[in-house]
């Protein structure tokens, strides 16, 4: 098991990072962000379950940062061709190779089917099963300075 997953994430998601000009920012050894204009993708490794995941982080009109699972988007929009990006045979589950494969699949599926999400168009959230998202202090604390530097209002914890 890797101690720091940043290089694995950067390599697996490099095409998406390049194409959309995301800024890579690392919170810790297994939590990172791909920061776009007024939104971010939260990329993390669940060490207990030994899997990788990507969530969408929005900034709502009231300045509140919210995290939204993308699992419904993955299930709805991704195809078997996207899943083939993992390679064959599939890496053994709960390994670093498996985590890298899940990010390769996410990279391919997001690039092929999710321009709206990757470009920061928030209209896809209308009617989405996780439309409200959830508030997370540690995510908000980390991303607030990035969004403020972009000129966005971010509600402070004291407000």
The stretches of 21-136 forming alpha helices (DSSP H) are 71-77, 80-83, 96-113, 115-118
What's the CA gap between 127 and 123, in Å, rounded? Answer: 9
pTM reported for the whole predicted model? 0.93
- pLDDT, mean over the chain: 92
Over residues 92-115, mean pLDDT: 91
Q: What is the pLDDT of residues 75-84, one digit of tens each?
A: 999 998 988 8
Q: Is the pLDDT assigned to residue 18 strictly greater than 70?
A: yes
Lowest-pLDDT range of 74-83, 84-93, 117-126: 84-93
Instruction: Specify whether the CB–CB gap between 43 and 52 falls below 8 A.
Output: yes
Tokens 């607030």 belong to residue: 144
């Amino acid at each position: 098991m890797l101690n720091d997953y940043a290089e694995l994430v950067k390599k697996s998601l490099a095409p998406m990072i390049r194409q959309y000009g995301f800024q890579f920012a690392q919170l810790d050894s297994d939590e990172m962000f791909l920061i776009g204009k007024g939104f971010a993708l939260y990329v993390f490794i669940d060490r207990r379950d030994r899997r990788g995941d990507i969530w969408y982080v929005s900034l709502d009109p009231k300045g509140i940062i919210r995290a939204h699972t993308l699992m419904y988007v993955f299930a709805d929009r991704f195809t078997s061709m996207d899943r083939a990006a993992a390679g064959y045979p599939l890496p053994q589950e709960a390994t670093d190779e498996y985590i890298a494969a899940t990010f390769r699949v996410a990279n391919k599926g997001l690039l092929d089917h999710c321009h709206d999400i990757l470009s920061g168009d928030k209209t896809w959230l209308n009617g989405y099963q996780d439309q409200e998202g959830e508030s997370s202090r540690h995510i908000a604390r980390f991303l607030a300075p990035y969004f403020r530097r972009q000129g966005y209002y971010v509600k402070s914890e004291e407000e």
